[in-house]
Structure 1
Amino acid sequence: MSAIDLYARKTAGFDERLGHTIEVLRRAAAEHPGRIVQATSLGAEDMIITDLIARHGIPIAVGTLETGMLHPQTVALIGRIEERYGLEVEVYKPVAEQVVHFVKTNGEKAMYESIDLRKACCGIRKLEPLSRMLANRDAWVTGLRREQSNNRGVVGFSETDDKGRAKINALADWTWNDVWHYIATNDVPYNPLHDEFMPSIGCAPCTRAIAVGEDFRAGRWWWEDEKAKECGLHATHEEPAVSMIGAKA
């Protein structure tokens, strides 16, 4: 059974939430002309935002982080977006030398050994490339929703990141039913791994399917304490710097 079969339901207030999201995106684009980007994880929520940008001709660039550890199904969405919507996706990859040094020093499974090592890996593969994506930009758009986890329960439609940029969370009040109703109604391309009980998809070593009753993000860094389950992309207190924690002389 697909994620659409399981979750797509039109619930009360959906049309109003959709209209508000479109207005949020249009307003953000108008306030930051030529200096705003959607930082898409290529997950279900972000595919909706990309669809809205293309469908309504909203002048927001689309960029993604290709960490080198993504599932092939995730990477394939980049080409699907470009073919479907005629949009060029900006792809940001980690610095190869930094990845090689980290793996050589700490091993390919370093992320399982400690939170510090896992965050160091995220720093190299995600935070540093994100800093390049956001360079010379005033604002970025995410697919964060309040329902995704306790840590995100107070997400607003607009906030300020640790560099003073506007961070636009256009789907903040959407439910999981809303997400899949929109995808089903508009035939939005999505990652087939969502059909395998993976609502939140990151790098392959750090993502697993969830069981019935588990949180949306329970399949991310499942071996860690719940409070640690962010890579730093959405934590305003963390710097997008490369760390070599555990490095040996």
Structure 2
Amino acid sequence: MNVQELTETLIGKDSLGILKTIDSKYGSEAVFTSSFGLEDQIITHLIFSQGLNIRVVTLDTGRLFKETYEVQQRTLDQYGKKIEVFFPDPKDLERYLTEKGPNAFYQSIELRKECCHIRKVLPLNRALVGAKLWITGIRKEQSGNRNDMPLVEIDSAKEILKVHPILQWSWEDCLSFAKENKIPYNPLHEEGYPSIGCAPCTRAIEPGEDFRAGRWWWENEDTKECGLHWVDGKLTRKKGN
């Protein structure tokens, strides 16, 4: 299916209906990538509680918060389902750490993006091998540069369809749903961390700050992304076939 056809198939469905439709059409050829944030935990719950065949994978950068690992374990214990884990290539990490040091990402945007590329982008590429559709936990409310994201798009670099099933949800919607359904979520969310990545690159935000202000807070760029959703330096936006 192309973007337009899939959009017409999914439009008007709620998040669970979107995931069930994807499951019926793609099954295990659809991949959901989770970082164990609140949004991702909701999608994981919908997939696991409904017994869908969609693969759930995570990218372990090696520098996550201990609370993130605790949520991962609680999720495995609660649902009894498999979550595939993808790590960075040890040789890539060895080279980066040897040549540039463990905290080189603080020194420049280029070095930070190189670290993200090694720890996230390359493992993601391996996780998506053989997949036809990629599911994310992106929400429009997360940052201004995500406001115009469509429900369905295509990542032209990876040549794969992307679907954002909870795109329209608010933070309050997510939190309420998680509590109502007893979904495990990261306690750091209640300590001012709405967006949680690697521990050295994430801080709590102050009241009134942007949702993602705590990510790579030392950088001055208006748009801060790790590269998972970028093609040629821009967020993926291609809406054609």
TM-score (structure 1 length as normaliser)? 0.86
Match of 2:137 among 133, 138, 143: 143
Match of 1:227 among 222, 225, 229: 222
Structure 1: distance between partners of 2:27 and 2:36: 23
Name which of structure 1's ranges 28-37 and 213-222 shifts more when overlaid on structure 2: 28-37
Structure-1 residue corresponding to 2:167:
172
Deviation string 1:185-235 (CA, Å, 9 cap, x unpaired) is 111100111121100000011000000000110000111124340011011
What value does the CA root-mean-square deviation take over the aligned residues? 1.7
1:196 is the counterpart of 2:188: no
Alignment identity in percent?
44
1:118 is the counterpart of 2:117: no
Report deviation, 1:116.
Answer: 0.5
Structure-2 residue corresponding to 1:237:
232
Report the residue type matching 1:188 in the other structure: I
Report the residue type matching 1:150 in the other structure: G
SS of the equivalent of 2:117 reads helix
Structure 1: distance between partners of 2:124 and 2:95: 20
Structure 1: distance between partners of 2:14 and 2:231: 25
SS of the equivalent of 2:88 reads coil
Structure 2: distance between partners of 1:30 and 1:77: 29
Deviation string 1:19-65 (CA, Å, 9 cap, x unpaired) is 61111111112221220111001100000000111122222111000
Structure-2 residue corresponding to 1:48:
42
Deviation string 1:96-118 (CA, Å, 9 cap, x unpaired) is 12112101111111111111000
1:213 is the counterpart of 2:208: yes
Tell me if the contact between 1:69 and 1:205 (Cα under 8 Å) persists in the aligned partners: yes
Report the residue type matching 2:39 in the other structure: E
Runs (4+) of structure 1 moved beyond 6 Å? Answer: none
Structure 1: distance between partners of 2:220 and 2:214: 12
Gaps spanning 5+ residues in structure 2: where?
Answer: 1-11, 235-241
Structure 1: distance between partners of 2:196 and 2:41: 13
1:88 is the counterpart of 2:95: no
Tell me if the contact between 2:59 and 2:87 (Cα under 8 Å) persists in the aligned partners: yes
Match of 1:63 among 39, 57, 66: 57
Structure-2 residue corresponding to 1:184:
179
SS of the equivalent of 1:212 reads coil
Gaps spanning 5+ residues in structure 1: where?
Answer: 1-17, 240-249
Structure 2: distance between partners of 1:92 and 1:227: 29
